[in-house]
Structure 1
Amino acid sequence: MTEVRCEIDEGVAVVTLAAPQRRNALTVEMAAELIAAFDEIDARDDVGAAVVRGSGGSFCAGAHLGVLDGAAADPLDDDAQRHIDALYGSFLRVGCSRVATVAAVRGPAVGAGLNLALATDLRIVARDARLIPGFLRIGVHPGGGHYTLLARAAGRDAAAAVGLFGREIDGARAAELGLAWQALPDAEVEAAARELAAPLGADPALARRMTASFRREAGPPGTPWDVGLEVERGPQMWSFRRRATARSA
């Protein structure tokens, strides 16, 4: 891999977008590398969580202009369709990973880059990070499930303000709205994300079951309480038996 790095330590994978010369803007090739990184993570039983970060002080500046220009030139062209699908597929791959995911967001997260951050289970952001929808600014309809991702994280009003009205927000405001768990000084963001991931990395088998249950129940769409009870029953009984077995060993 040349523009996506994956380093695994103590059950936590750190996935780095490594194209700082363009503020980690996503190309088709980079999207394929991101998918491959999560294929590797999911194939390993010793990983319970993943942190997604950007290099060079930026999270992700969105889709590379070459991808956007190709789509604009002929939106119905087969290659243009495949290239857009590749970008969207990378968000979906992160969101469907078997492990819990945390985005460590520093600097700008623009358009597709904001989608990538929102595809994770949890976000830690720098207070001065810039969350920029960007679509309205360039006269393009949002894509990648942008409204769904915003609404599931922070509700309808926040989704309208950011996605529909195109409001840029900083990390501090993102945390106030519920788009991020915590806003911190820039230098503390990645360590905090790694610290959050560490307990899940310490018990990957349990972490993967918890992650699956969390997503089924939390949605979208959300799960009714009685259905949630049944979703949790099997994994919880597995964990009881494992605990008893460990005690008797």
Structure 2
Amino acid sequence: MGQVHLERRDGVAVLTVDSVEVKNGLTPEMGRQLAALCDEVDADASLGAAVVRGAGGTFCSGADRRRWRPGADQAEDATYQEAGAVYGAFMRVGTLAVPTIAAVRGAAVGAGINLMLATDLRVVATNARIMAGFLRIGLHPGGGFFTIAGRTAGREATAAMGLFSEEIDGSRAEQIGLAWRAVPDEDVEEIAFELAAQPAKDPALARQAVRSFRTELGPPGLAWDAALHFERATQMWSQRRRGSS
């Protein structure tokens, strides 16, 4: 079963999603583990930045489909709580007390794009595959996708990805403002660490600065937590509907 690992490097927390057999698909247990590791990062005042990455050259392919229950009652307590554990992990990354960078190689799909968008900054491989893809498989977007995509890429790109299932590569992500830099695959993590090293030099200042950043430039419209719950019922409906088709 997959794991999430925490490593500390010169004031930078490295959070690695590791379930390479399913291209780092997320389980509810991994969501809870990621949230718990974020608590560890926040409690460690020596850390001034965090890099989120995937093991084996892939960022995150979405939810682990081995745990999907299409057609099941999505309002049933256990099923509802399991999906909430994955969604809660995105938000927990987004509320880390330190500046965060996603180092995106390979695929960031479905839940993976939400994890990528939860960070403050993104460094992506030029050949990365970035796709929401929810409607393509008969699901309503979840995790507050429209809110967290819209604050970064704007309305047009969010519509293209969220409503029309457009897939983009890293180069296109940089062009539309979805990523800060698109670089060769082998350079992604090194450049992400170089960027993270700057705020990590002064963790106390980094934590104050990122709090101001998010407060002043937070997503417009619905707050992220409100967007997550606003989408939830419709996504549950789409999961149940998908299983009966």
Q: Same fold (TM over 0.5)?
A: yes
Partner of 1:234: none
Given that residues 67 and 84 in structure 1 are in contact (C-alpha distance below 8 angstroms), is that contact kept between their aligned partners in structure 2? no
Partner of 2:208: 209
Off by >6 Å, runs of 4+ in structure 1: none
Question: Which AA in structure 2 matches 1:53?
Answer: R
Distance of 1:159 and 1:2 partners within structure 2: 30
Partner of 2:106: 107
* Deviation by residue 1:20-72 (Cα, 9 ceiling, x = unmatched): 11111000111111111111000010001000000111100101114432x53
Question: Number of residues paired by the alignment?
Answer: 221
Computed over aligned residues only, the root mean square deviation of the Cα atoms, in angstroms, reads: 1.4
Describe the shift of the 1:123–1:3 C-alpha distance in structure 2 as closer, same or farther (beyond 3 A).
same
1:66-85 alignment runs, 5 A limit: 66-69=66-69, 72-85=71-84
Partner of 1:40: 40
1:153 Cα offset (Å)? 0.4
Partner of 1:194: 193
Distance of 2:37 and 2:178 partners within structure 1: 25
Uncovered stretches (5+) of structure 1, i.e. residues with no partner? 223-249
1:2 Cα offset (Å)? 6.4
Partner of 2:151: 152
Describe the shift of the 1:2–1:135 C-alpha distance in structure 2 as closer, same or farther (beyond 3 A).
closer
Partner of 2:63: 63
* Deviation by residue 1:98-119 (Cα, 9 ceiling, x = unmatched): 0110000000011000000000
Distance of 1:76 and 1:221 partners within structure 2: 29
Distance of 2:149 and 2:42 partners within structure 1: 26
1:84 Cα offset (Å)? 0.8
Task: State the TM-score, normalized to the length of structure 2.
Answer: 0.88
Partner of 1:52: 52
Partner of 1:129: 128
Uncovered stretches (5+) of structure 2, i.e. residues with no partner? 222-245
With a CA cutoff of 8 Å and minimum separation of 6, indicate the structure with the bigger relative contact order.
Answer: 2
Given that residues 53 and 59 in structure 1 are in contact (C-alpha distance below 8 angstroms), is that contact kept between their aligned partners in structure 2? yes
Question: Which AA in structure 2 matches 1:150?
Answer: A
Task: State the TM-score, normalized to the length of structure 1.
Answer: 0.86
Using the aligned pairs only, state the percent identity: 55
Q: Which has the larger radius of gyration?
A: 1
